[in-house]
Amino acid sequence: MKTSNLLLATQRENPSDAETISHKLMLKAGLIRQVASGIYNWLPLGVKVLRKVENIVRREMEKSGAQEILMPMVQPGELWKESGRWQQYGKELLIFEDRHDREFCLGPTHEEIITDLCRNEIRSHKQLPVIFYQIQTKFRDEIRPRFGVMRSREFIMKDAYSFDLSEQQMDDSYQSMRDAYVRIFNSLGLDYRIVKADSGAIGGADSEEFHVLADSGEDLLAFSDKSDYAINAELLIESKSDQDPRSLEGQDSPDGKGKLKLKRGIEVGHIFKLGRKYSESMKLTVQSENGNIYPEMGCYGIGISRIVAAAIEQNHDDKGIIWSKEISPYTTALVEINPKGEKNLKNLCNQIYTSLKEQGHEVLWDDRDQSAGVKFSDMELIGIPQMIIIGEKSFRENKVEFKMRGEDKIVSLIPDEVLNKIQ
């Protein structure tokens, strides 16, 4: 892609409406624009990153044998009344009526829909175990949306639901999803931790959260310095008289091994064992040799759009975003400087651009008629991990330059070498 054909909506000024770093940078780098409180447009660069994250998630879901489906965002109130959550879920559930005065809500999650789907489609125990997933827009009418897409009302989530014949089988499904999540977060190139969590309004027994570590994270996490023990600090606070979570620092770990250390995290994934909560309330049964049984369910969420913000919270500098190459909108920025000075400079750019594309690299060629400083600043702001610089001086020596985002070092290479250098 050439920048001359791209809606590169970078802004020079800091946006006045944003406080957190990821929110500021997402606006400034032209990834998103706000439409209403907690509701955003995703611009071309932002969508590129979203798709990268989605593709990693999708790849690992498929690898684990989960099947992709797509459920509606608009859901009939009837199903929510059946599960009991029409009353229970609260004002985060955005409710409205259609022209026939039938009640609907915008889906904040999909347990009701998936359970309804499965009770219609799944008859025999031979069809289990099964896991379905979707990547889809959710809506939760947050009391106070904040921090850009980090806590927005409309957001993109991958949610998966497992159905098993026994608790033991459910544990296997849970473990398989957990393994997939580990592969996903490893692939994303983020520093993350898994902690014990509260299962909250979704209901159910065991649950674990995946957190991207960042000082700006909303959640406080507690770790033992001697064992694997890791927990969302909220859970420890509930049982203490001292309500200040920071007081946990240095206390004995509840597992009896070592002392607690605290870190901040952004919750980007949450996996639950639901048990029979929904299968029983919504009468989902399968036939087996022992009669009809209620499947054991599990549900598994990943905040796709939140991951984009979390990645920026964790990886940025004073110049802007620093993407890992796995989720960067482009792997390589190609910056031409003063192409009018040397008439073959443009040709060299074109050759390198074409070759890299043939090698499967996603290259953003900054061919705008702008000064070098503007181009460097923009490419750094939008966080492209590798940059090739082609300017008059080096061109005359038949050299181009290569620079990694986040590093100061610039290396001079002949054009063929740079083709091998790019990853």
Partner RNA sequence: CGGGGCAUAGCGCAGUCUGGUAGCGCACCUGCUUUGGGAGCAGGUGGUCGCAGGUUCAAAUCCUGCUGCCCCGACCA
Q: Which of 34, 162 has the CB closer to RNA?
A: 34
Q: Closer CB to RNA, residue 253 or residue 394?
A: 394
If one asks whether residue 13 binds RNA (CB under 7 A), the answer comes out as: yes
Taking the complex as a whole, how short is the minimal distance between the CB of residue 401 and RNA, in angstroms?
A: 5
Closest CB 403 distance from RNA, rounded Å: 7
Give SS3 for 266: strand
Tell how strand 130-139 and strand 154-164 pair up: antiparallel
Contact between 10 and RNA per CB under 7 A: yes
Taking CB under 7 A as the binding criterion, the range among 4-12, 55-63, 186-194, 325-333 that sits at the site for RNA is: 4-12
Q: Is residue 204 part of the contact set for RNA (CB under 7 A)?
A: no
Contacting RNA within 322-341 (CB under 7 A):
337-338, 340-341
Q: What residues pair up with 328 in beta bridges, in sequence order?
A: none
For residue 233, the surrounding DSSP H or E stretch is helix 233-237
Residue 294 is classified by DSSP as P
Per CB under 7 A, 417 contacts RNA: no
The interface with RNA within residues 148-177 (CB under 7 A) comprises 151-152, 155, 157
**94 interacts with RNA by CB under 7 A:** no
Of 117-125, 143-151, 165-173, 254-262, which segment contacts RNA by CB under 7 A? 143-151
Say how far apart CA 236 and CA 220 lie, in whole Å.
Answer: 11
Q: Does 218 bind RNA (CB under 7 A)?
A: yes
143 binds RNA (CB under 7 A): yes
Does residue 233 bind RNA (CB under 7 A)?
no
Q: Is 105 in the site for RNA (CB under 7 A)?
A: no
As beta bridge partners, residue 75 has: 105
As measured in angstroms, the least distance from the Cβ of 173 to RNA is 18
Determine the Cα–Cα distance for residues 54 and 48; give it in Å rounded to an integer: 10
409 binds RNA (CB under 7 A): no
3-state secondary structure of 183: helix
| Binder among 270, 277, 316, 361 for RNA (CB under 7 A) | 270
Cβ 398 to RNA shortest distance, Å: 12
Here's the x/- map for RNA, 37-76, by CB under 7 A: it reads as xx--------------------------------------
Residue type, 325: K
| Burial label, 116 (beta-carbon count in 10 A; 0-12, 13-18, 19+) | buried
Written as six digits, the tokens of 165 are: 């014949």
Q: Is 7 in the site for RNA (CB under 7 A)?
A: no
In the set 36, 241, 244, 360, which binds RNA (CB under 7 A)? 36
Smallest distance, RNA to C-beta of residue 350, A: 17
Q: 172 is written with which tokens? A: 């296997």
**Which residues, 6 or more positions from 387, have their beta carbon under 8 angstroms from its beta carbon?**
332, 333, 334, 335, 379, 402, 403, 404, 405
Instruction: Provide the minimum distance between the beta carbon of 337 and RNA in the complex, in angstroms, as a whole number.
Output: 5
Q: Which of 147, 161, 294, 330 touches RNA (CB under 7 A)? A: 147
**Least Cβ distance, residue 336 to RNA (angstroms):** 9
- Residue among 74, 133, 130, 120 at smallest CA distance from 283: 120
Of 49, 22, 19, 9, the closest CA to residue 321 belongs to: 22
Distances (CA, A) of 220 to 74, 200, 247, 248: 34, 16, 12, 10
Distances (CA, A) of 52 to 100, 180, 186, 326, 349: 41, 16, 14, 7, 26
Position 278 contacts RNA (CB under 7 A): no
Please check whether residue 61 is in contact with residue 181, taking contact to mean a CB–CB distance below 8 angstroms.
no
Site map (CB under 7 A) of RNA, residues 352-391, x = contact = -----------------x-xxxx-xxx-xx-------xxx
Rounded to a whole number of angstroms, the minimum distance from the CB of residue 302 to RNA is 9
Cβ-based nearer residue to RNA, 119 or 421: 421
Long-range contacts from 227-231, C-beta under 8 angstroms, 24+ separation: 227/253, 227/255, 227/257, 227/258, 229/253, 229/254, 229/255, 229/257, 229/258, 230/193, 230/194, 230/195, 230/196, 231/195, 231/196, 231/197
Q: How far is CA 282 from CA 82, 130, 161, 300, in A?
A: 6, 18, 15, 19
Q: Which residues here bind RNA, judged by CB under 7 A?
A: 10-20, 23, 34, 36-38, 90, 92, 140, 142-147, 151-152, 155, 157, 198, 200-202, 209, 218, 267, 270, 301, 303, 306, 319, 337-338, 340-341, 369, 371-374, 376-378, 380-381, 389-395, 401, 403, 410
